[in-house]
Amino acid sequence: MYAVVATGGKQYKVEEGQVLEVERVGDVGSDVELRPVLLVDGSAVMSTPADLAGASVKAKVLEEVKGPKINGFVYKSASNNRRRWGHRQTLARIEITGISKG
């Protein structure tokens, strides 16, 4: 069985036992519930809001990691204006522990 969940502005197709990296959702070692669930597929597909009202996906936060480095550079020729910047997003590595249809 798999489910499609939305977290951090992105959608993920998840199965039980899967490990994935999402934007930070909780403290390390805590159990979190990912909602909204957009689709659950088992013996029958559940996709309407009435079907998905009680559906949930449970996950455990394994660790916090940093994403890839993003480098930026701003340049304005006439004013001799230059600025360099970088960013690394903090991510959470989670393991999907359960998918319930509700």
Closest CA to 18 of 90, 99, 94: 94
pLDDT of residue 47: 85
pLDDT of residue 95: 97
Q: What is the dihedral of CA 64, 70, 76, 80, to 10 degrees?
A: 80
Q: How far is CA 49 from CA 54, 72, 81, in A?
A: 9, 41, 52
What are the residue ranges in the chain where pLDDT is below 70? none
Closest CA to 22 of 70, 62, 56, 54: 62
Residue with structure tokens 């957009």? 38
pLDDT of residue 41: 85
Q: Please, which residues bridge with residue 10 across strands?
A: 7
- Domain spans of the chain, in order of start: 2-100
